[in-house]
A and B are shown apart, each in its own frame.
Chain A
Amino acid sequence: MTDATLASGLRRQPLALRFPSVLVFLAALGLFTIAVTILSDGLGLGVISTSFIKTLGKTLCLCLVALAMDLVWGYCGILSLGHMAFFGLGGYAIGMWLMYARTELIVIESLKAAPLPATPQEISDGIAGQIFGVVGASEFPPIWAFAHSLPLQLAAVVLVPGLLALVFGWLAFRSRVTGVYLSILTQAMTLALSLHLFQNDSGLRGNNGLSGLQNLPGLDDFPQSTVSLWFFWASAIALGLGYIICAWIVSGKFGSVIRAIRDDETRVRFLGYPVEGFKLFIFTLTAVLAGIAGALYYPQAGIINPAEMAPIASIYLAVWVAIGGRGRLYGAVIGAAFVSLLSTWFTGGQAPNINLGFYTIQWVDWWIVLLGFSFVAITLFAPKGIGGLVDIFIDRKSPNRFGADLGPDPGALREQEAEK
């Protein structure tokens, strides 16, 4: 990757050469997608059940948001604890249309039986009553103004997280909030957002959230086994495109600058780079990626509620990326896939319980404890995460300076940062 800076001065090489992992990754992703399709319930041999296709599709979406997290944290050094909030916002944006359109079909169908043809007002009242009856309201809140239109809500998937990230990032970066302070600030933003959505009068059905998202309006003829495959493909394509975009961003001069910002922000600023602009761009772009991932994830999950946007979700996102290995794109994908599938396995009750005689360890209960402590262990002993195994494989070595400072001041750059 350090070649990238040199290369930028010379004739630009194709992305695949500058960033060899792209080809490997795309090939692996393509093979995986084809294999799953062949083995699927909907189109192929029927080895993999529909619900597992959904799990795999959701995992791909989580990989995409982990990719975004890696870009913002592993490459740009901003430990954002808000990206799962952007993820959730994307889910809410698409969920509003799914729920509106589907309810509209149901209401129109039920009003057909009425003696008079329905007026637009009656239809709208019927939809609002169906959707908001559960929170005791019967009128559309203003934020549902565009819910009838798929293109506008698709735009919202990108714009809402993007604008929120832009405004928040602009406020935070311009006042030079960095490091842990920024993390805490993003966590506070996430908390505020989820608390807001928990209110019944937030206009998004409070803690009931949006539900029934797995049913695509107007496509009732297609079974869930087919629909789940569509979403699986869409997720795979989104992940592939996301990987290419991220690789393209980090491979050029731009990538060198954001890595420099991670390593020593002040020095980059003194070199004349508009640090805030770079950070803001990365922060906003990754928020948009997270929003898209969320928009693909929640139709597969079927339900979204504010608990999914609580700060802890964003912390888990950081955990995935750290376990996979920060500062390498494939690390994020490996981490997210590995941990979330393992988590599904443990919490799904498939893992065998361990009987200690006096106490039986039930993994449903103890998996989180194991995850927490292994996360601590990885932070302490294997900061490169699972991706570090690749370094052993391709025989890449890091300088070992036994923890000595690399810079002149205490606390400047330490060897473990330099490795990344």
Chain B
Amino acid sequence: MRAILTSLLAVFLLTSQPASAQQSDAQIQMLLQEYGEAIAKSSRRTIGPAIDALAASGLPEAQVVLNRWQAKEMWFNKATGVFVFATEIDRDTLQIFDISNDMEIGQALEDDYTQLKPNSGIRSMIGTALVQFQLSDPDPTERLRAVAAIERGAEKSHLAALRSSTESEPNADIKASKIRLERLLTIRFGDTDDERITAINGFAGDLGVDVRAALNPLVATRVETAATLPEGTDIARAITPGSETFPRAAAYDLLVEAGVAKPRIERAEQREALVANVTDGAVGGIQLASLNTEAARDIAYAALAAAGAVDAVATDTEIDTAIDASVFFERYTGAPPAVALAAKAALAAIESKVAINQAADLGLDALSLASIYFLAAIGLAITFGVMGVINMAHGEFIMMGAYTGYVVQLFVPDYTLSIALALPLAFAITFAAGVAMERLVIRHLYHRPLETLLATFGISIALQQIAKNIFGTQARPLTSPAWLDGSLVINDIVSISYIRIAIFVLALMFLCLFLFIMNRTRLGLEVRAVTQNPRMAASMGINPDKINMLTFGLGSGIAGVAGVAIGLYAKVTSEMGTDYIVQSFMTVVVGGVGNIWGTLLGATMVGTIQKGIEWMNPSNTLAAQTYMILFIILFIQFRPKGIIALKGRAAEA
């Protein structure tokens, strides 16, 4: 009943507002009509000219039309073929609008109109066409989005659009990126070689990844073969087969492909061919049982080939002669030779600059690794370096600090506040643990370093297992505050994350703190006195027990704070201490026991070497650690006392 009423109403409305109100003579409508058939057909293969014509028409309405078309809001009248915008009011009725000025025309029966439903391929073609309108959109964010869209999927047609929109670009930043993009597109799609070469030369020394991405396809080559090396500018270089990138087998396959050599055969194929030709327990006159060597199989196969049962194949000597008789060379295929050469030169210039920047980036990486090692080792520099106590549970103090941070974050959801709370709390907890350990265990063992090592090992494995029992074996997160997320990007190659900078700053702060305490405070004076000569210090009124306790607590506390920092950078697990303990001891020993500058140098050396080895063999950090440790073992051979060796009385203490 209701449907009938609605349709009655629709008919009434239609008759009251005649469709002739449409401006069927508007330019845009006429343009669309010109391609009406193709548009109505909506096939990806035939639609191209229509979209191009719309885009190139220069009509102000074209953008709106393309947009609405893409959004499936364009319909056409089945009878007249007139295009309109329409929205569905209900299942039978459309609200229709004029495409030239978006004026409401009225309502119409849906049955009279057909919706244009561009498929995804056509929609993306429309999107490409729309880009040129977006490039000169009044909204700057829209323009930026268009530039980004072109960067993602550039096409030749964009070049003209970019060029025409660049002149009128009011925003200096967007203009700069448009100009850059225009040059990149010129490299790829430019019409003349000169134009492309100029664009390429303009990028000399540019570090952008996009530049290299544009240049690399231009210098693409294909390996070809000939009897003699041909002349021509498009020959990149001659190559000798037998290298890892161009093995002799590949070279021979090229010859076979060129039709100048007999095919060769793989062992597996040879075996199949032999099996296929077994007659009376023999192949080619050779008994099956004696076909257990490659030489015998070659003979049998040759016999078969001679009998015509299988195709003749090249023998090893034939392969060698054929390869030696030919030359192999690379031919530029990505671009005309002149462009390719220009691209190659530009790439070479870029490469050398990239290398310098990579070295700088590696330096930053090494520095940040060094600061992590330094942070892990600085507590050890106090307990081991100054006091001479081997604390193998040092790594577990780091772990305790990290878990303190984790637990604090469970209760304090605000990351900034929780880290600010965790740092002093971690210090307090590990300080207390250190003092307790010194009182209960270490002070009984001051003259027995080997047993200190063992006892602290016992504590280390116990603490590790306790942490495992409490927190489980899976890694726990310690989330850094949002302002530490992201990295400081200097250019496309050199960047460093803020968290690493923070760790670096923290390491520097600890260095200053250490120097201050040791050299400028009463405690530092007493510590140095007690470590040099406890009895003399005691007779001067210093309580060596108290000093030892405090010093050990201080070293342990610093380990706890380091644990929070390391936890931010790596995951918190019960075994994280073991990852750092050997390296930390190495850092202290390499640097020179008892000297904080030595520890600093040691950390720098260990970090730099590890990063250096990783750079040489980037896929394998395990290997880097292995070789780093081997290097340190060797280093200690030549400087057993470390980089900075204590001299005089301090060395004997």
Spell out A's residues near B (CB within 8 Å): 77, 79, 115-122, 168, 171-172, 174-177, 179-181, 183-185, 187-189, 191-192, 195-196, 198-199, 201, 311-312, 315, 318-319, 322, 365-366, 368-369, 371-376, 379-380, 383, 410-411, 414, 416-417
Contacts and interface: CB of A to CB of B under 8 A. Distances in A.
Nearest to B291: A116
B627 to A, nearest CB: 8
A177 B582 contact: no
B582 A369 contact: no
B267 interface: yes
Nearest to B444: A380
Contacts of A187: 582
A116 to B, nearest CB: 5
A183 B633 contact: no
Contacts of A115: 275, 278, 288
A365 B458 contact: no
B589 A184 contact: yes
Residue among A121, A189, A380, A416 with most chain B CB within 10 A = A380
Given A184-B589, A192-B626, A372-B458, A171 B634 contact: yes
B562 to A, nearest CB: 19
Contacts of A411: 447
B571 interface: no
13 contacts: A77-B450, A116-B275, A116-B292, A171-B634, A177-B636, A179-B449, A188-B586, A189-B629, A199-B626, A369-B466, A379-B451, A379-B458, A380-B445
B447 A372 contact: no
B274 interface: yes
Interface string B387-398: 000100000000
Contacts of B290: 117
B447 A414 contact: yes
A383 B289 CA distance: 70
B450 A171 contact: no
B390 A180 contact: yes
B633 A171 contact: yes
A117 B289 contact: yes
Nearest to B533: A410
A410 B288 CA distance: 84
Given A119-B293, A315-B457, A199 B535 contact: no
Interface in B439-471: 441, 444-445, 447-455, 457-466, 468-469
Determine which residue in A79, A118, A187, A188 has the highest number of CB atoms from chain B within 10 A of its CB, and name it.
Answer: A188
A187 B458 CA distance: 16
Contacts of A373: 458-459, 462
A315 B461 CA distance: 10
Nearest to A79: B450
Given A119-B297, A181-B636, A380-B445, 7 more contacts: A184-B589, A195-B622, A318-B454, A365-B469, A369-B465, A375-B454, A376-B455
Contacts of A77: 450
Contact of A196 (B453, B461, B622): B622
Nearest to B463: A372
Given A119-B292, A414-B447, A175 B458 contact: no
Given A119-B293, A410-B535, A311 B458 contact: no
Contact of A191 (B274, B466, B629, B640): B629
Contacts of B271: 116
A304 to B, nearest CB: 18
A151 B636 CA distance: 37
Contact of A365 (B291, B468, B640): B468
A55 B366 CA distance: 47
B167 interface: no
A365 B469 CA distance: 6
A372 B469 CA distance: 14
Nearest to A376: B458
A376 B626 contact: no
Contacts of A198: 622
A192 B629 contact: yes
Nearest to A187: B582
A368 B462 contact: yes
B385 to A, nearest CB: 13
Contact of B458 (A177, A319, A410): A319
A156 B626 CA distance: 23
A416 B444 CA distance: 12
Contacts of A199: 620, 622-623, 626
B454 A185 contact: no
A322 B454 contact: yes
Nearest to A375: B458
Q: Which one of A120, A175, A201, A379 has the greatest number of beta carbons of chain B within 10 Å?
A: A379
A351 to B, nearest CB: 15
Interface string B253-269: 00000000000000100
Given A184-B582, A199-B620, A365-B469, A379 B294 contact: no
Contacts of B133: none
A380 B441 contact: yes
A195 B582 CA distance: 13
A175 B469 contact: no
Interface in B501-538: 535
Interface in B339-394: 390
A4 B445 CA distance: 31
A74 to B, nearest CB: 11
Given A117-B292, A188-B582, A312-B578, A176 B622 contact: no
A368 B469 CA distance: 11
A311 B582 contact: yes
Contacts of A180: 390, 449-450, 452-453
In the A-B complex, list the 9 residue pairs whose CB atoms are closest, starting with the nearest: A372-B462, A375-B458, A192-B629, A368-B465, A117-B292, A376-B458, A379-B455, A372-B461, A115-B275
A195 B583 CA distance: 13
B251 to A, nearest CB: 21
B288 A116 contact: yes
Given A79-B450, A121-B294, A372 B465 contact: yes
B332 interface: no
Nearest to A318: B454
B625 interface: yes
B637 interface: yes
A379 B462 contact: no
A411 B388 CA distance: 13
Interface in B558-595: 578, 582, 585-586, 589
Contacts of B465: 365-366, 368-369, 372
B547 interface: no
Interface in B602-622: 620, 622
A179 B294 CA distance: 59
B38 interface: no
Interface string B207-222: 0000000000000000
A189 B633 contact: yes
B462 A188 contact: no
A175 B447 contact: no
Given A189-B633, A365-B469, A369-B465, A176 B640 contact: yes
Contacts of B14: none
A315 to B, nearest CB: 5
Nearest to B293: A119
B640 to A, nearest CB: 5
A318 B626 CA distance: 24
Contact of A175 (B278, B444, B452, B637): B637
A185 B267 contact: no
B291 to A, nearest CB: 5
A416 to B, nearest CB: 7
A148 B622 CA distance: 29
B582 to A, nearest CB: 5
A255 B623 CA distance: 40
Contacts of A311: 578, 582
Given A121-B294, A198-B622, A372-B459, A379 B445 contact: yes
B493 to A, nearest CB: 28
Contacts of A376: 441, 455, 458-459, 462
Nearest to B586: A188
